[in-house]
Amino acid sequence: MILPALLALAIAGGLLLRGAWDLWAQVLVHLVFSSGLCLWLLLRVGGGYLPLPPRRTALWCGALALLSAAAVWFSPLRAVVLPEWLPLLDALAVFLLLPLIPRSGRARVDAVLRVAAWILVLLASYQSLVWGDDRPESAMSNVNVYAGTVLLLLPLALERRDWLLAAGLVLNLWWAHSVGAWLGLSAAVVLTSSWRERSRLVLGAAGALLCLVFIYDKFQSPEVLNRWEWWKAAGAMIFERPLSGFGPGAYAHVVQSFREAGGLGTAYAHQYILETAVGYGLPFMALWFAGIAASFRAGSPYKRFGALAVLFHSLWDWPLSVPANLWLFSYFVACSAPESDRGINIPARWKGPALLLVLAAGAAANVWLWDLWAADRAKVRASRELAAAQPAAARAAAEAALRLRPADPEAHLLLAQALAGQGDPEGAAAQLREAAARNPFRLATWKELAALEKSLGRDAAAQAALSEGARWCPRLGREPVGP
């Protein structure tokens, strides 16, 4: 009973918390997941029997966890990417835990997800019909992200014959005006249809062709040209670090070093395959998608349809870059696994040490997550105080964040601004150097450091900062630095 409730609460809650896009929402879901998993392990260990996932699933998830850990460890942005790793670990936990849930438990998870779908549909309808929003995004952070969520939830409604919910989801998809989502839907129709189902094949092919015509019509539009630049930058990043990547979520921080000035900035590559390779490296990408492809051979055709549709959508947009959508996608793919019959008996003499180990690990994980949340709130306070021209209060908040996360480059930047506001340029320069060392891809940090060193009369130090920054950000040598 615990595992179905845990998965349902984490995935559905994440969907309703803006897709768990904000760090506070992610930490809340992580805390629920960590606490629930700890409780389940305590009960199982105390009972003397611990069920295990299938050997192949365990090996696959273990290999992915090791490869992703290597991506974090070898990342030049380790402190930045570490929190971005957690959504993937939760997704891998979904793959490990789902084979331990019987069919009845999975049905309960589906029921909770349908409730979440109803809430999302009603909220989007309210935004459209009452607020007059042309492209309602419901509880999500972006309308194209919500379109990806709809692609996942629509097959779930059809599987349970909830026709009213399905109609509402289709209406929401129409309001989204997302060509990528409709292309994903059409491609999934084609790929899941047999040659005997000619009407479905024709319908899917016609929809895909129509979407391609719309894309071609916008071929010279900024929407297409910007994506092409983002994809070229992603390709250059993969070529730079093909084995371990730059770390999860690093694309947003590194992209400015691999694209020309003047282009539209972005936090995502808008192409899930490329973004996965940028973050984790080619070996991880190959193993991840190979396991997903193998899972498509079995399981519910409805869930397979939804997973395929959002995968194709993610070739153009970023629905799977949002944690809750990734968890829902992982749940759909993992549902192909049969119930596991593996497990181990725990001897009585090992129960005590095992229980203590689980308690210690769970407590350590929750304390770390709480500190991560507290550090983020401290940074928000520091930003607010800086905006209110209160450098002393901003300094206290930034220092509180650094006590919790000493390697956080954003906290060092906030402290530098606070020190500069208090008339301490030497301290500000020291904090800028710390921030640059922990995130060398932020072009503005090097420019601010060089300008500050120059204002202090240290021309050699300013030039050294520019030279070091140019190693990480080649654009630095081609842009003005300021006074």
Dihedral sign for Cα 26, 162, 100, 309, please: negative
For the residues 438-463, what does the mean pLDDT come to? 90
Cβ pair 317, 270 in contact under 8 A: yes
Please state the φ and ψ torsions of residue 130, each to the nearest 5 degrees. Answer: -100, -45
Separation between Cα atoms, residue 148 and residue 309, nearest integer Å: 8
Q: Answer whether residue 477 shows pLDDT above 70.
A: no
Buried b (16+ CB within 10 A) or exposed e, 103-123: eebbeebbebbbebbbebbeb
Predicted confidence (pLDDT) at residue 233 exceeds the cutoff of 80: yes
* pLDDT greater than 80 at residue 226: yes
- Of 119, 125, 184, residue with least CA distance to 318: 184
**Sequence-distant (≥ 6) Cβ neighbours of residue 482 within 8 angstroms:** 447, 451
- Would you place residue 330 in the very low, low, confident or very high pLDDT band (cuts 50, 70, 90)? very high
Which regions of 326-405 does DSSP assign to beta strands (E)? Answer: 342-345
Cα end-to-end span (Å), the chain: 64
Nearest to 330, CA basis, from 54, 12, 98, 20: 98
pLDDT of residue 200: 75
What torsion do the CA atoms of 232, 314, 443, 22 make, to the nearest 10 degrees? 180
Give the CA diameter of the chain. 79
Q: In sequence order, what DSSP letters do the residues of 113-172 get, joined into one string? A: HHHHHHHHHHHHHHHHHTS--SS--TTSSSHHHHHHHHHHHHHHHHHTT-HHHHHHHHHH
SS3 at position 49: strand
The token duo for 368 is: 């770390």
Would you state the pLDDT for residue 108?
A: 95
d(Cα 236, Cα 470) in Å, to the nearest integer? 17
What is the spatial distance between Cα 252 and Cα 416, in angstroms, rounded to a whole number? 22
Q: What digits encode the pLDDT tens for the residues 360-376?
A: 999 999 999 999 999 99
At a CB cut-off of 8 Å and minimum separation 6, what does 39 contact? 2
As a whole number of angstroms, the distance between CA 110 and CA 117 comes to 10
Q: Per-residue confidence at 211, pLDDT binned at 50, 70, 90?
A: confident
Q: DSSP secondary-structure letter at 259?
A: S
For 470-481, give the DSSP string.
HHH-GGGGGS--
In terms of phi and psi (left: phi > 0; alpha: psi -120 to 50; beta: otherwise), the region of 299 is: left
Could you identify the residue written with the tokens 């109609």? 167
Residue 439 vs residues 61, 258, 376, 443: alpha-carbon distances, Å: 29, 15, 17, 9
Provide the residue type at 46 as one letter.
Answer: G
**The tokens of 420 are what?**
């500069």
Would you place residue 475 in the very low, low, confident or very high pLDDT band (cuts 50, 70, 90)? confident
- Average pLDDT along the chain: 91
Average pLDDT over residues 128-140: 92
Using CA atoms, how far residue 254 sits from 82, 89, 240, in Å, is 15, 23, 11
Closest C-alpha among 278, 272, 285, 277 to residue 258? 278
Residues 334-357 have pLDDT tens digits of 998 889 889 999 998 898 899 999
Q: pLDDT band at 222, cuts 50/70/90?
A: confident
Q: Where are the beta strands (DSSP E) in 4-125?
A: 49-52
Specify the DSSP class assigned to residue 246: S
pLDDT of 193 strictly over 90? no
The residues, ordered by sequence, that sit 6+ positions from 296 with a Cβ below 8 Å of its Cβ are 304, 307, 308, 333, 336
Domains in the chain: ranges and CATH: 2-344 (no CATH), 379-441 (1.25.40.10)
DSSP label at 347?
A: -
- At residue 225, the pLDDT reads 82
Separation between Cα atoms, residue 11 and residue 149, nearest integer Å: 12
Instruction: Please compute the mean of the pLDDT values over residues 85-96 and round it to a whole number.
Output: 96
CA distance readout (Å), 326 to 92, 272, 303, 357, 471: 10, 11, 14, 30, 34
